[in-house]
Every structure is written in structure tokens, then in C-alpha cells.
């Protein structure tokens, strides 16, 4: 379910966060589902537990997960977190569209790219 790519330039904890976010957003894990313990996931991915702990702490601060002392970590009711994430991504999209426009890419080309990407994901 969770994976990391050592060739990715992003820090490993960011990759762990993104994998967890993706699993939550796509419904692979549901609200109140228990997620792997820090130790279990660190062993599974063969990385330092402190790296997983940092990812979990940030996910908890963002509202994606919550911790129950002595029980573990669980997927939270993260509607606000998801709305916040959408706002961030739309902001990044705005900057990307602006940069593409400055490079001479037309609105039709941008929309076509988005539609092609969406079609690929729907088939997967």
C-alpha cells in the first residue's frame, strides 16, 4: 500500500505522507481504519522509525490521522484537511498554468493534457 522511491528528490517522510494521503483520498483506507504502527511501517519500508514518526506527526497536524494512546493511529474525519489540500493544489495549478501560458502553451493544450491525464486515471 505504501511505497517510497529512493530516486525521488523529495524527502522520504514527504513520500510517506503523500502515500498515506493518496490512500485516504482514494478510499483505500477509510475513516477510523487503523493504520500501520510507526515500527511496523518502518520495518515494512526498511527506513528509520523517526522518519515515519515525522510523517505521522505532520499528517496528524493536518487532520488526516489521529492517535489514541496505547491503541495506535487511525484515519481521521479529514474533510477540512482535504479542502485545505485542494486549495493548495489549485494554487499550485494556477501557478503552473500561468507558467505554461508564459511558455506559449495554449489553454486548449492545457485542457487537453488534463483530460488525457484524467482519462488514464479512470481506466486504471
Helix and strand totals (H; E) in the chain = 5, 2
Tens digits of per-residue pLDDT, 41-98?
999 999 999 999 999 999 999 889 999 999 999 999 877 767 777 888 898 899 999 9
Domain 12-77 has CATH 3.40.50.620: no
Query: How big is the CA angle at 91 (ends 24 and 9), to the nearest 5 degrees?
Result: 65
* H-helix or E-strand spanning residue 116: helix 107-123
**Lowest-pLDDT range of 15-19, 75-79, 119-123:** 119-123
How confident is the model at residue 70, as a pLDDT?
93
Residue with cell 485542457: 111
Mean pLDDT of 32-38: 95
Query: How big is the CA angle at 106 (ends 91 and 98), to the nearest 5 degrees?
Result: 25
Q: Which of 115, 110, 123, 29 is nearest to 76 (CA)?
A: 29
- Average pLDDT along the chain: 90
Q: Is residue 124 predicted with pLDDT exceeding 70? A: no
Amino acid at each position: 500500500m505504501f511505497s517510497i522511491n529512493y530516486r525521488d528528490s523529495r524527502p522520504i517522510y514527504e513520500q510517506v505522507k503523500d502515500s498515506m494521503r493518496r490512500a485516504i483520498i482514494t478510499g483505500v483506507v477509510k475513516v477510523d481504519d487503523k493504520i500501520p504502527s510507526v515500527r511496523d511501517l518502518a520495518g515494512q519500508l526498511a527506513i528509520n522509525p523517526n522518519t515515519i514518526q515525522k510523517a505521522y506527526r505532520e499528517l496528524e497536524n493536518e487532520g488526516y490521522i489521529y492517535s489514541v494512546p496505547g491503541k495506535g493511529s487511525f484515519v481521521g474525519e479529514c474533510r477540512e484537511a482535504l479542502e485545505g489540500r485542494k486549495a493548495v493544489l489549485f494554487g499550485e495549478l494556477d501557478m503552473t498554468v500561468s507558467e505554461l501560458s508564459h511558455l506559449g502553451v495554449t489553454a486548449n493544450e492545457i485542457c487537453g493534457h488534463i483530460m488525457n491525464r484524467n482519462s488514464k486515471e479512470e481506466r486504471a
